[in-house]
Amino acid sequence: MKTLKEVKVGQTVTVKKIHGEGPVKRRIMDMGITKGVEIFVRKVAPLGDPIEINVRDYELSLRKIDAQMIEVE
């Protein structure tokens, strides 16, 4: 299983599944990150937090702990 946290800068991946439950999963989905959507990794901060991504033409920052819950292919 590969998660969004492991994706290198400059890569585009497709969301396979979002793990977790409750408010955390809801927050991720409210950002427009859902199964089948493409995510482009724009930038990763030096310590890996936050991860800056492009989703549906929006630029977002995602915490490393949230990125670990997003399974990609």
73 residues of the chain, pLDDT tens digit each: 899 999 999 999 999 999 989 998 999 999 999 999 999 999 999 887 899 999 999 999 999 999 999 999 9
**Domains of the chain, CATH where assigned:** 2-72 (2.30.30.90)
Describe the strand order of the beta sheet including 38-44 as a list of residue ranges: 2-3, 70-72, 12-18, 38-44, 51-55, 58-62
pLDDT at 39: 98
Cα 49 to Cα 63: distance, rounded to the nearest angstrom:
6
The per-residue pLDDT for 48 is 73
pLDDT at residue 47 in the model:
83
